[in-house]
Structures are given as structure tokens and as C-alpha cells.
Amino acid sequence: HEVHLVYTRMRTEERMLVDALRGRGCSVETHADTDLVLPLNREPWKDGGPVLMRSMSFTRARYLSSILEVKGARVFNTARSIATCGDKALTTLALAEHDVPMPWSFLGFEQDACVAEMEQRGYPCVTKPVQGSWGRMVARVDNKHAAEGMMSMRFEMGSAQDHVALVQQYIDKPGYDLRVYVIGGAVGGMRRRSEHWVTNTARGAVPERYDVPESHAKLAERAAKAVGGEMVAVDLLETRDGAILVNEINHCVEFARSIEFTGIPLPELMAGYLVEAMR
């Protein structure tokens, strides 16, 4: 079978993944998600080979993976896992269901009710879009005035599907967060250090060495399992007293900014996982 890679842009990651798959003897066909128009039926797509979903758009990744699975394709990550990881409310719920430790969080649908709940729970807290990445629109709320402003923006802007507020406990991190890559099992990770409380590498955080202790690896694997993720990056928050909480799980693993530093051969590990899973 051919391996199909669906992408939005051929970034460093996608090129490295194609090379790694070819290195494993796979023939690879790449497909720009913009070009795909798929009939909604059970007719197989192409030759029915496995699909590595690398679409950067959650909308496209979610629908395409669902469609391709109905057509009989094995999609990495699975449609269910993409749908869960791409939505922070559903991720949190899956973690709760599996008793994975995480910051407290709540979901609300109206400004005054959310502000009242934030007043009850206390500040600082964090609110972020249920769908989002690269640290965009992740906001720390330090007091009632900020809460009112944030909730007003959340519910006055956008359209009906945006009118949901996810609010989380603010975790006072020791200057970094932790990322564990789970490709089947935990394969390594990095610390992301920043002066800013938002520690995305897309926002300038610097990768640091992190020898993943067994307990963190186990936790990341439990979190990945909770969302059905096979190839994921699990973000952990460490509290000042060393407790570890799961923050989010990324279904489209990015590594262009960090692979030189970590030396973890993620493209080869992902290609290897896919080939093994298809045996």
C-alpha cells in the first residue's frame, strides 16, 4: 500500500515525515487539504492505504479523518482522537473521565454566570478558546475587571459556536512547562522555558533538556490513552511544589523548532509506528 500524507503546508515537519516514510520503504503520496473534495460514502479513497493526517486546520483534519475512516482508511491519529485533542473542553473531559490530574476547569455559556464562577473560584485563572493553538488568545485573568472584559469579549464576539468559555486554574509554573512526546509510548520530551507565563515555542520559549522521569512518562501515556492519541505531544504543567498536571494534548506533533535541540528522531519514530501498526 501507498501511505498518504494530507497537509496544509509542506513545512519542515511534513518534508521530514515524507523522507522518514520513504526511508522505511513506503511509497508516499502527498495531498494538499485545499485540493480535497471527498464524496461522503464508503467507497475507498485511492488504494485504501493508511493516511498520516498533517492538516494544520482542525476543521479539515477532523472532517477529513472522519470521512477517510468511513472509507476504510487507517488514519493517524484516529478521527476520534483528533476530534478530542482539537477541542480543549473535550480533552479536559476525557482526562477527567480517566482520572488524569489536571488543573481544575469549568465550561460556561454566558458572561455573568462565568464571571460569578470565577469570583467564587478566585484569581488568577486562565481562559482560552476551546479550539486554538500556538498560545493564541490564551489569557490570564487576575481580577474581576479582567474577568468581565474577557467574558464580554468571549460572548459578544464571534458566532454561536464560539460562545463557550473554558476557564482553568492558573498554575504558577517554575519558568517552564514540559512536553512529552508519545509515539506509541513516551519517547522523550523537552522543557520550554520562558520569561512569559505562556511557554509556546511559537511564542519564543526556549527548549531545554528534560530527561523524562518514569512517573512523567507514565502520566503522559495515560493522558494519550485517555484521548486515544497514538502520536501526540502531551503538555504538562509543573507546580512550584513539583506536582504534575496535564494541560493539553496536541494531535499534530510539531518539532521543526525543537528537533535540532532535542535530538529525538520524531519523524523516524512516527514513520516506524505507522509501519508497525499497519503490519
- Nearest CB to ligand ADP, comparing residues 14 and 254: 254
Question: What's the min distance (Å) between Cβ of 136 and Zn ion?
Answer: 10
Closest CA to 262 of 196, 201, 197: 201
- Which DSSP category does 98 fall into? T
Alpha-carbon gap, residue 209 to 112, rounded angstroms: 43
- Nearest CB to ligand ADP, comparing residues 167 and 274: 167
Q: Kindly compute the dihedral angle of the four CA atoms of residues 60, 63, 64, 67, in this order, to the nearest 10 degrees.
A: -170
Which residue number places its CB atom closest to Mg ion?
Answer: 235
Contact 92, 169 (CB under 8 A): no
- Nearest CB to Mg ion, comparing residues 14 and 235: 235
Question: What's the min distance (Å) between Cβ of 276 and ligand ADP?
Answer: 28
Alpha-carbon gap, residue 16 to 226, rounded angstroms: 28
Alpha-carbon gap, residue 190 to 102, rounded angstroms: 19
Return the residue matching grid coordinates 474581576.
144
Stretch near Mg ion under the rule CB under 5 A, chosen from 74-82, 209-217, 234-242, 258-266: 234-242
Question: What's the min distance (Å) between Cβ of 34 and Mg ion?
Answer: 25
- 92 contacts Zn ion (rule: CB under 5 A): no
Question: What's the min distance (Å) between Cβ of 165 and Zn ion?
Answer: 18
Q: Which of residues 123-142 bind Zn ion (CB under 5 A)?
A: 133
Question: What's the min distance (Å) between Cβ of 1 and ligand ADP?
Answer: 33
Which residue number places its CB atom closest to ligand ADP?
Answer: 199
Q: Which of residues 249-268 bind Zn ion (CB under 5 A)?
A: 250
Kindly write down the DSSP assignment for every residue of 137-182, as one continuous string: T-EEE-SHHHHHHHHHHHHHSS-GGG--EEEEEPP--SSEEEEEEE
What does 108 interact with, of Mg ion, ligand ADP, Zn ion, none (CB < 5 to 8 A by kind)?
none
Q: Return the beta strands (E) in the chain as ranges.
A: 2-7, 27-32, 51-54, 75-76, 105-108, 125-128, 139-141, 165-169, 176-183, 185-193, 206-208, 231-238, 244-250
- Nearest CB to ligand ADP, comparing residues 53 and 125: 125
Question: What's the min distance (Å) between Cβ of 240 and ligand ADP?
Answer: 12
Residues that bind ligand ADP (CB under 6 A): 103, 126, 128, 132-136, 138, 168-171, 173, 177, 197-200, 235, 237, 247-248
- Nearest CB to Zn ion, comparing residues 88 and 216: 88
Alpha-carbon gap, residue 190 to 201, rounded angstroms: 11
Q: How many CB atoms lie within 10 A of CB 57?
A: 14
- Nearest CB to ligand ADP, comparing residues 6 and 198: 198
